[in-house]
Each structure stands twice: as C-alpha cells, then as structure tokens.
Amino acid sequence: MFLERKGDKVNRRGWIEVVCGSMFSGKTEELIRRMKRAEFAKQKVEIFKPVIDTRYDDEAVVSHNDNTIRSTPVPSSSNILLLATDVDVVGIDEAQFFDDQLPHVCRQLANGGIRVIIAGLDMDYKGEPFGPIPALMAQAEFVTKVHAICLHCGNLASHSYRKAEGDNLVLLGETDEYEPLCRTCFNWATTKK
C-alpha cells in the first residue's frame, strides 16, 4: 500500500487493478496469486464473485488449474460495498457478470484506500466488449491483459469462441462450450457458423 503523510495522519492510497483476457488465459489464477500474496503480507483480504458462478464451487473462487481461494458470492455489486469492511484488499472474480454499477463500487473502494483487484473477460463470445470491464479498464491504475493459446494455430488467443449453440450472452461453460482462438481463427470460425 502507498502511504501518504498529511500532518500527523497517515492515509492509505487505494487503486484498481484489472486482469482481463479470454477464457483459459489465467485470469482467475492471477487473481488468486495476487490475493494469496496479500494474505502472506498479513493484509486483510476479501474476495467476491457473482452468485451465478457455480461452475466449480458455490462459494470458492476456483481456477481452471484447480487453484482455490475462499470467496463470498454476491447478487450485485452494491453488496460488495456492504461487505468489504475493515479490509486492505478486495478481489472480484468474473467481473463481467456484475451489473454496470461495479465501476462505481470499485472507485468508492479505491477512494477509501482499498486495493481492488478485478478479473474478468474483456470480450464476450461475439468479440464485443463485455459488461463493466471496459469502464473498469479505463479507470484502473494497472491493467494486465493475459492470453490463452489458440487451439487452432498455436498463436496467442484473445477471443473466447463459443462452440455451443444459442445466443444468450451468459453461458457458463468449459472446454465443451468454449475454446480460445486468435483473431484470425476467430474470424474464420465465426464466418463458418
């Protein structure tokens, strides 16, 4: 944490970090790594995820590599403000599934001296900006874009190609429903559908 001395009072400075990319790129793994480092540094941490994310566990945040950390599922971003009391670091996984108030919530937390670490998909299955992630990236002090490997050509993948049928924006899934593709292979695959 950065500290600023004003007279006899020391104020913590908060900030926002965003880890984004396609599916299977290691976003959650990186979030867990940063949160565990904060815990190791004896900082008070709290991790949140949307209640709809029940793929691996109803409560814990779990990466594709089965790395796990305790979390609190919440129905909306406003609940994060209510529950993030007396903490140094707040982690938020699957941020793309939260409502449009998430950037405001994260800004309030950071303005209150809390380090906020957010992980989420930057694009939906159509290759369009996803939920509150673009606004979060714009206001973040640090943005880390991680990449998967394209399963067709081996280049860096930035797109989450949906193999499953349907046009619902939210479809929780794994390798049966999605695969990471580079821009060229994604464009080719979407024209073949």
Give me 20's structure tokens: 């984004």
Q: Which of 122, 129, 90 is nearest to 108 (CA)?
A: 90
| Set 17, 30, 46, 94: catalytic member | 94
Whether 64 and 29 have beta carbons less than 8 Å apart is answered as yes
User: Which residues, other chains included, contact 153 with Cβ-Cβ below 8 Å and sequence gap of 6+?
Assistant: 182, 184, 185
Q: Which of 132, 171, 183, 145 is nearest to 20 (CA)?
A: 145
Q: Any catalytic annotation for residue 94?
A: yes
Q: Which of 99, 79, 101, 100 is nearest to 90 (CA)?
A: 79
Whether 135 and 103 have beta carbons less than 8 Å apart is answered as yes
- Under DSSP, the state recorded for 129 is B
Kind of pairing, strands 115-121 and 9-13?
A: unpaired
Q: What is the CA radius of gyration of the chain?
A: 17
Catalytic residues: 94
